[in-house]
Structure 1
Amino acid sequence: MGLEVQLEPAFGQLSVERAVMGSTPPQRQFLFHLHAPDSLHLGIHVTDFHSNTWEAVRSVSQLDDMQDSIGIGGTWSEFIDYLVNSIKSEHTKLVLEGPLNSDGAAAAKLVAQKAKGMPKISIAMTKLVGSAATEAIANLSLQLFKEFKSINESYVEERERSMQLSKVVSAEKERNDSIQSQLELYTKRQKIQRIGSSDINGAQNSPEKQATRDTKSTKVVNRVVPAYRRAKVRGAVLQDIEDET
């Protein structure tokens, strides 16, 4: 049985309390570093980068015992998720125990809770001194820089994609504006042509034009061939018939 989850390094700031009521907590800020050295261990480092550096390393068997003692049901992976999310929550705090001196507190524990009303997780911390503390601080600083670098690179890539997308959107907007302008111009021309055609038809169908056409039609219909011309034509036809006889 291992952690069975891809545990990404996590960093955060901790609130600090003194175990003795009325005692003044240290003024320096504390940061934590949650990580998995391998698939069988979970590691936590807490430091104020000065005189208080703490460590807790738990094996999967110890974490299994922790699940039973806390009384959290569900699968193993669900418990690990709960543990990690509890430590990363805003309710996590570092409780310093014993008197404070130039070397810091004598003991400390990490108290994590995913949300108010949910089970608390208490992890005793081991104080690091000398080269062990320096190494822990150096490792935390390096991992924190790597995390910052990764986030910054992702931000730069996202910004470049956003700029490229903005260019595409801008070009598409210009194209749509051009098509809209052409469509409006075409619609305007069509409207002008319809108005012109209507004016011409209206002029042709005006009462004056209609009266003129009616007068001309009447003159043509009432035009009669003179009688002398009709008789002449009929006589010529009869004369032709008699000659043939």
Structure 2
Amino acid sequence: MGFEVHLKPIFGHPKVEWASGNASTPPRRFLFHVHASPDSPHLIIHVTDFHCDTWEAVRSVSQLDDMRDSIGIGGSWSDFIDYLIASIKSEDVKLVLEGHSNSDGAAYAKLVAQKSKGMPVISISLTKLVGTAGSEAIANLSLQLFEEFKSIHEFYVEEKQRSIELSKVISAEKERNASNQSQLEQYSKRQKLQRISSSDKVDVSGPFSNGLKSSPDKEAARDINSKAVANRVVPAYRRAKVRGALLQDTEEEHK
């Protein structure tokens, strides 16, 4: 049972209010940092205004389990940790201040978080840090905040570079598609012109060629008929008389 795997550093800006509601001076702006201890299974919370109010809360796994029972959150341990993280990340996290210490600032404080209205309320009491402890907490929070910013910035740079490369790929793909589309349109135009040209040739030769030109079979039949007519012997009674010719009797006829 633990939360190291579930919990990554969380930074937030809580809404600050006084428990009595009649503070003489308006509260400064605060920043909180929630993280898991790298040395032991503890949840650590720091809240500071980077001036005179710095607070801390350290909760062990057993203390968090007791909190779960007191709040009345059922389900598994993992479900409770998920709800705790979701509540701390919500927009309704409050830092409630109370009383006045001898030094500047409040005497007591607690961090109140709720995932949404009507859901169980997470309330964690805070201990005020003074002197070197407060300075170290502020220094650690500042360093962790810079590390988080650096990590986000590196991720942003990587994503930007990936986006540039992807844009280049998309641009090249668009150019390739445009080229293919142009070639396809040119090919389609050539095919259309060839079909029109072929259709025109058929229209010009078709209607007139039927009367001027016969098929090879018809030509062969015509040649055969012509030869048959030329070779046919015309009967004597149908032969034409030769006009202007002189008829002479042969010797046999006079005998």
Flag whether TM exceeds 0.5 (same fold).
Answer: yes
In the alignment, which residue of structure 2 is the partner of 1:34? 34
Cα displacement (A) at 1:64: 1.2
Letter in 2 for 1:17: E
SS at match of 2:161: helix
- d(CA) in 2 for partners of 1:20 and 1:49? 23
Q: Deviations over 1:165-222 (max 9, x none)?
A: 111111122111111111111111010000000000000113x4433337xx79x849
In the alignment, which residue of structure 1 is the partner of 2:114? 113
Alignment CA distance shift 1:84-1:225 (3 Å): closer
- Give yes or no for the alignment of 1:18 onto 2:4: no
Alignment CA distance shift 1:150-1:226 (3 Å): closer
Letter in 1 for 2:91: E
Letter in 2 for 1:125: L
Alignment CA distance shift 1:131-1:221 (3 Å): same
In the alignment, which residue of structure 2 is the partner of 1:87? 88
Letter in 1 for 2:88: I
Q: Deviations over 1:7-41 (max 9, x none)?
A: 21110110001101343663421111000114520
In the alignment, which residue of structure 1 is the partner of 2:191? 190
Cα displacement (A) at 1:51: 1.2
Cα displacement (A) at 1:224: 3.9
TM-score w.r.t. structure 2 length?
0.81
Structure 1 range deviating more: 221-230 or 24-33: 221-230
In the alignment, which residue of structure 1 is the partner of 2:171? 170
Structure 1 range deviating more: 50-59 or 80-89: 80-89
SS at match of 2:59: strand
SS at match of 2:51: coil
In the alignment, which residue of structure 1 is the partner of 2:72? 71
Letter in 2 for 1:2: G
Aligned residues: 231
SS at match of 1:205: helix
- d(CA) in 2 for partners of 1:226 and 1:54? 132
SS at match of 1:11: strand
Larger Rg belongs to: 2
Letter in 2 for 1:210: N
CA contact (8 A) 1:5 1:77 kept: no
Q: Deviations over 1:38-84 (max 9, x none)?
A: 45200000011111111001111111111111111111121112112
Any gaps of 5 or more consecutive residues in structure 2?
A: 235-255
In the alignment, which residue of structure 2 is the partner of 1:238? none
Letter in 2 for 1:138: A
Q: Deviations over 1:103-129 (max 9, x none)?
A: 211111111111110011111111111
Letter in 2 for 1:160: Q
Alignment CA distance shift 1:44-1:228 (3 Å): closer
In the alignment, which residue of structure 2 is the partner of 1:155? 156
Structure 1 range deviating more: 98-107 or 176-185: 98-107
Structure 1 range deviating more: 53-62 or 169-178: 169-178
Structure 1 range deviating more: 22-31 or 73-82: 22-31
- d(CA) in 1 for partners of 2:25 and 2:167? 50
TM-score w.r.t. structure 1 length?
0.85
